[in-house]
Chains A and B, each alone.
Chain A
Amino acid sequence: MIVRDIMKDQLIVSHKDMTICDALDLMKKHRIRHLPIVNDSNEIIGIVSDRDLRDASPSIFDDQHKQFINLPVSKVMIDDVITAMPRDFVEEAANIMVEQQISCLPVEEDDILVGIITETDLLNTLVKLTGADLPTSRLEIEVSNESGQLSDVSNIIKEHKINIQSVLVYPSFHDPSRKILVFRIQSIDLRPLLKTLKQRNYQIIWPTELEMKT
Chain B
Amino acid sequence: MRNEAAYIFSPEQLQYKFHNDHPFNQHRLSITNDLLTKVGALSPDSIIPARKASVEELLLIHDEDYVQAVIGATEGQIRSSYKTTYGIGTEDTPVFPFMHDAAAWLVGGTLEAVDQVFENDYKHALNLGGGLHHGFKGKASGFCIYNDSSIAIAYIRKKYDARVLYVDTDAHHGDGVQWAFYNDPDVCTLSFHESGRFLFPGTGHVNERGHGEGYGYSFNIPFEAFTEDESWLEAYKTAMREVVDYFKPDVIITQNGADAHYYDPLTHLCGSMQLFHEIPKMAHELAHEYCHGKWIAVGGGGYDIWRVVPRAWALLWLEMSDQTAVTQQNIPESWLDQWKEESPVQLPNIWTDPKGMYPQIPRQKEIEKKNERTLIKSLKPIYDQKNTIIKKI
Residues of A in contact with B (beta carbons under 8 Å apart): 131-138, 160-163, 184, 186-189, 191-192, 206-207, 209, 211-214
Contacts and interface: CB of A to CB of B under 8 A. Distances in A.
Nearest to A163: B84
A212 B266 contact: no
B97 interface: no
B371 to A, nearest CB: 16
Contact of A134 (B23, B198, B202, B225): B202
Nearest to B268: A207
A contact patch SS:
loop
Interface residues of B, number: 31
A135 B201 CA distance: 4
16 contacts: A134-B201, A134-B202, A135-B136, A135-B141, A135-B175, A136-B200, A136-B201, A160-B91, A162-B90, A162-B91, A187-B200, A188-B141, A191-B23, A191-B265, A207-B198, A211-B226
Among A132, A137, A138, A209: residue with most chain B CB under 10 A: A137
Contacts of B196: 132
Contacts of A160: 91
A188 B201 contact: yes
Contacts of A187: 90-92, 200
B90 A186 contact: yes
Nearest to A133: B203
Interface in B345-385: 358-359, 361-363
A161 B200 contact: no
A155 B203 CA distance: 26
Contact of B142 (A131, A188, A192, A211): A188
B23 A212 contact: no
B71 interface: no
Contacts of B199: 137
B91 A212 contact: no
B359 A136 contact: no
A193 to B, nearest CB: 9
Contact of B362 (A184, A206, A211): A211
Interface of B: 23, 83-84, 90-92, 134, 136, 141-143, 172, 175, 196-203, 225-226, 265-266, 268, 358-359, 361-363
A134 B359 CA distance: 33
A206 B268 CA distance: 11
A188 B24 CA distance: 11
Nearest to A191: B265
A133 B204 CA distance: 9
A134 B87 CA distance: 13
Contacts of B363: 211
Contacts of A137: 199-202
Nearest to B196: A132
A187 B134 CA distance: 12
B226 A131 contact: no
Given A160-B91, A188-B134, A212 B359 contact: yes
Contacts of B141: 135, 188
A214 B362 CA distance: 8
Given A135-B175, A211-B226, A211-B363, A206 B201 contact: no
Contact of A189 (B92, B134, B201): B92
A131 B91 contact: no
A167 to B, nearest CB: 14
A206 B265 CA distance: 14
